[in-house]
Structure 1
Amino acid sequence: MTVIQKLKVVLSGVLVSALVLSLAACSSGKNDGASPSPDASREPAKIVELKALTMGTEPASGMDNFYKQLDELTKKDLGAIVRFTFIPWGDEKNQISRAIVAKEYDLYAGGFWSDYKNFATKNAFADLKPSLSKTPKLVEHYKGILDRITLDGKLYGIPQYGKPGGGNWGFFYREDLRKQWGLPEVKDLESVEKYLYKAKEEFPDTPMISDKGFILNVFRMLAGDKYLDPTGTMTTMAPVNDPYKVASIYDIPEYQQALRIAKKWYDDGIVARDILAGQANETSKTLELMKANKKPLEFTNHFGAVSSGYINQLKAVNKDWEFGWLDYTVDLAPDTAFLPKHSVETTTMISIGAHSKNVETALKFIEKAHTDRAYYDLLQYGVKDEHYKLDGESITFEGIDPKNKKPGWTGLNDGYMNRVEKYPGEWQAIYDRLQTEGAKLGEKNGIDPYEGFVFDTKDITAEMANIETIRTQYAIPLAVGVIKKSIEDDLDTMNQQLKGAGMEKYMAALQKALDDFAATKQK
């Protein structure tokens, strides 16, 4: 090859190289001749969306900021966004059931109040146990409790995390009216009844009781410390001093006495005439009546629900209204106030649908909710200065429009993450008393005898369905005071129907389960 030929080859190579670099620069939109990085051609990571169901009414405003703040957290930590659907209290059991069947959500709230256990046994929810290795902070946070709430060895939900202290179910009433009416201090069934009748006299157009389950609290007031509820359904009872010997509640003398009181109250107009047509949960309607000064009480509600959902709204209407609380457990049955029980039978859960394509991501979201302060405050309280305010490290809702108070994510409530809450007026002292007394009683009485007990009902599902049908047809009307012949005749008819439905088989299965459980505790 001549010198001229070699020079042509070299020049040709230089020109080709220059052309390649020029094309590369044009294709990258740059003119610095740099090669594109290996990541430049990759698509951005896909953000998944988790759909969650929660109870309560969505705040009137502030949700745009809520999702903005939540997205900033979840996109960075989980590669996900989460969107909530709020279901108002009232027809929650049916609405949640429909949502589960329709497979609408990734995350479900539920418990004894929503048929959680029934759906869990039918594998409607994902078993979270195999994924717990991906959420070590969550496991550590619960200190072994997650092992106690399994069904057939499977973990179908993450429970609310109870902390000793606080109230239970109770009687909520206007204390200022009690003083004005000259009534005795509310402290037992007799004084509650006097308040009910005076309230009916003063508010003649409003029934004082519209909740179909009110008889269970009449029973609680009559029975006091005598009985415990093994299944959390208030259909079977066991003596406090013999907690593994069970009986049907319909055979217990105090329940039969409660039936007579229910009939009297129904006949006297204390109980709504159309109570059987009402929703299973009438709390939302009652709150509106109380805000309108058309009703001075609620016979059946939970202390936590009243504290978080009622007090600030009612005080916003009239700051001079005073309220009182009679706790059916702490005040009337202190020997049944144990350390918080975490059980599939009684505890509210957050579950992940078995159909979800993002089970691990959803579980990691739950982990963050229980262990990260930014997540917990946002999910439980909402946006600071829009849904709540901070007074030091304590939370307060003073100055917040009640319509803008965000309900906490149902099932998230965590006693070890909750901020100390400041309440208006006299409610602070009531709250502090129940926190202190509840904690003392829990430490004194110790672990609930049924902690860890799971009643496996897969072999009696037909009987349970039949029993529920009979309860709807016979037990509920009887319990609200709607009597066909007489209490004795109606009760006998119901018991005969229950026997035909398989009540004896159900009771035998429950007794065997309790016997087996008691045997394990003695080892």
Structure 2
Amino acid sequence: MHKPQKTVSLLLTVLLVGAALSGCSGSGDKNDGEASQGASPSASAKPSESASASPEASGSASPSGLDTSKHVELQFYMLGDAPKDLGIIQAEINKMAESELNATVKFNYTSWTDWDQKYKLLLSSGQPIDLIFTADWTQYQAYAKKGAFLPLDELLPKASPKLQAFVPQDMWDAVKIDGKIYTVPATFKEYVTNGFVYREDLREKYNLPVPKDIASFEAYLDGIKKNEPDMQPLSMNSDVKTNLMDVFREINDDTVGGPLPYGIGIKYNKPTEVYSYWGSDEMKADLTVIQRWQQKGFFAKNVLNVKDTMQAPIVSGKAAAMLGDNPNRFNDTQLKMQSSHPDWKLGYYPFPLTRGFATPVHPIHNGFAIPKSSKNPERALAFYEKMVTDKRYNQLTQYGIEGKNYTVKDGYYKMIGDSTSNGFGREGMNGWAWRNPEFMLFDKSFDGVKEIFAELDKIQKPDIFTGFAEDYTPYQAERAALEQVEKQYFYPLYAGLVKNVDEGMKTAMDKAKQAGLEKVQEGYKKQWLEYTAANGIQ
């Protein structure tokens, strides 16, 4: 999903230095400034501290000047699926929020099925929403530029001064759109670039190659198909653009950030050369491989109707591999899988090691904004301050109830039961955006993620894309039409379901051009070149 930063200088400030941010990961995606956030990923709070911190120690007093005389219920929106024990956690949170802010909160989830359409509807319908998740992959920049969120610059010092001081200034600067702050950035720093995820125990058992590129990954899938005929070699769902096409391009492609919209291509080392990936020989070569995978039966023929998450079939043993996932979410999937099947092993190979460089996550990658429809912006920001800076709120919403959902031993988090019996797994609320490195708990397997981050540190380059904020007003109608064309004509190509790739591409391109593709691409290109010129990106 994507991600990330403003100018090159700002991007450099969020390089992986000391607290790991997590995202889009089944664990989340954030960035962290070591100087301000300090705690290393291995540092954990003592078990006794998580629930017993006094209101005074946790800073539970309301900010001075905040009017809490009227009781309010805050509407809080997250992406994904709600954990089974959400009601229990919400009730515990509301006991504290009622007492300290004269407020209660309703945690709402979109589910992962067609989340993007639901997200768009939430922000366009005028429905009262007080807090909503933002990221580069949810188009934070574009929504902010279009006025979907309230600016926070004047609200922060009044409603959440502790939160304002907690987030490093360079991160506040990095999430600004047209000079204004519209989201509270996460401060946990990580890499969220993709990597091959595969059953390592099966690889060892059948002497299959380690997936390092498309060829070796295909050989691995061939081996699974041959030796485990009842297992789906590749986990895939209906979002074939995000989970198949975009990820496929990331493996060898030196793209600037991305994924890029409208079939546009831009290379990291040639950022001012903008071309159309759609309709190109490059696209044809990629689609030919994906079509071959479909014909070999690596993933389901009805993939466009599959609504499961990518990780669930891996956890249950129904599938052997994922084309790509980020290190944090890989670790979460591994933890869930091994809670039920300790003899299974999951392997991971980062794409950046094949591609030659890695970009640390940008502060934009995980955040929370206050939509313009909010009826309680000040109280919402005060509550979010609690979620980030108050240990009681933070650990309760990240890990559940200690002794019921998890334990801490020798500094490490451990889930009680397994992923099927435990109603609130680690980061069960998808609370990537309010991670606080000072309070974070990690399972022992996260030591492996730290090793991955250390390797990626050696080949890091700044993200030169995420700070770009597109204004699609001049081509909004064409953009909407193009979105429908992509789903109707390009998605079947992405899924390998079109028998003749050449004819399929021609039909899709004809429809795209009729919808206004050239106008959209030219409008985007013009803004991108203005952005690169203004920020000295060459």
Could you say which TM-score interval applies, normalised by the shorter chain? Answer: 0.7 to 0.9
The Cα of 1:191 is off from its aligned counterpart by 1.7
> 1:62 touches 1:386 (CA, 8 Å); kept in 2?
no
> 2:192 touches 2:327 (CA, 8 Å); kept in 1?
yes
Corresponding residue number in structure 2 for 1:30: none
The residue correspondences of 1:210-289 to structure 2 (distance < 5 A) are 210-211=236-237, 212-213=240-241, 214-223=244-253, 226-229=254-257, 232-233=260-261, 235-279=263-307, 282-283=308-309, 286-287=311-312, 289=313
> 1:170 touches 1:326 (CA, 8 Å); kept in 2?
yes
Q: Distance in 1 between matches of 2:442 and 2:257?
A: 31
Equivalent pairs counted in the alignment come to 459
| Counterpart among 479, 482, 488 of residue 467 in structure 1 | 482
Q: Which runs of 5+ in 1 are unaligned?
A: 1-43
**Deviation per CA, 1:212-239, whole angstroms, max 9, x where unpaired?**
131332222343xx33235654832222
> 1:386 touches 1:404 (CA, 8 Å); kept in 2?
no
1:237 partner letter:
G
Q: Distance in 2 between matches of 1:494 and 1:46?
A: 55
TM-score by length of 1: 0.78
The Cα of 1:265 is off from its aligned counterpart by 1.1
- 1:421 equivalent to 2:442? Answer yes
> 1:219 touches 1:254 (CA, 8 Å); kept in 2?
no
C-alpha spacing 1:334/1:124, structure 2 compared with 1 (3 Å): same
Q: Which runs of 4+ in 1 moved over 6 A?
A: none
> 1:237 touches 1:246 (CA, 8 Å); kept in 2?
yes
Corresponding residue number in structure 2 for 1:95: 118
Name whichever of 53-62 and 255-264 sits farther off: 53-62
The Cα of 1:205 is off from its aligned counterpart by 6.1
Greater length-normalized contact order (CA 8 Å, ≥ 6 residues apart): 2
Q: Distance in 2 between matches of 1:113 and 1:451?
A: 10
2:309 partner letter:
T
Q: Distance in 2 between matches of 1:247 and 1:415?
A: 40
C-alpha spacing 1:73/1:114, structure 2 compared with 1 (3 Å): same
> 1:169 touches 1:302 (CA, 8 Å); kept in 2?
yes
The Cα of 1:520 is off from its aligned counterpart by 1.8
**Deviation per CA, 1:441-490, whole angstroms, max 9, x where unpaired?**
33xx2x32225321221111112112212211221111211225x22232
C-alpha spacing 1:353/1:315, structure 2 compared with 1 (3 Å): same
| Counterpart among 517, 520, 525 of residue 506 in structure 1 | 520
**Deviation per CA, 1:77-122, whole angstroms, max 9, x where unpaired?**
3221222124433332233344442615322224455465565555
C-alpha spacing 1:108/1:434, structure 2 compared with 1 (3 Å): same
Q: Secondary structure at the match of 2:467?
A: coil
Q: Distance in 1 between matches of 2:108 and 2:78?
A: 6
Corresponding residue number in structure 1 for 2:448: 430
Corresponding residue number in structure 1 for 2:106: 83
> 1:52 touches 1:83 (CA, 8 Å); kept in 2?
yes
| Counterpart among 472, 478, 482 of residue 497 in structure 2 | 482
Corresponding residue number in structure 2 for 1:408: 429
Corresponding residue number in structure 1 for 2:72: 48
Name whichever of 453-462 and 113-122 sits farther off: 113-122
Q: Distance in 1 between matches of 2:148 and 2:225?
A: 45
C-alpha spacing 1:94/1:506, structure 2 compared with 1 (3 Å): closer
**Deviation per CA, 1:104-153, whole angstroms, max 9, x where unpaired?**
53222244554655655554433333312323333331423233334444
The Cα of 1:508 is off from its aligned counterpart by 1.9
Q: Distance in 2 between matches of 1:385 and 1:294?
A: 31
Identity rate of aligned residues, in percent?
Answer: 24
Structure possessing the higher radius of gyration over alpha carbons = 1
- 1:296 equivalent to 2:314? Answer no
Corresponding residue number in structure 2 for 1:322: 345
Q: Distance in 1 between matches of 2:513 and 2:304?
A: 24
C-alpha spacing 1:187/1:435, structure 2 compared with 1 (3 Å): same
Q: Distance in 2 between matches of 1:339 and 1:513?
A: 24
Corresponding residue number in structure 2 for 1:390: 408
Measured on the aligned residues, the alpha-carbon RMSD in Å equals 3.0
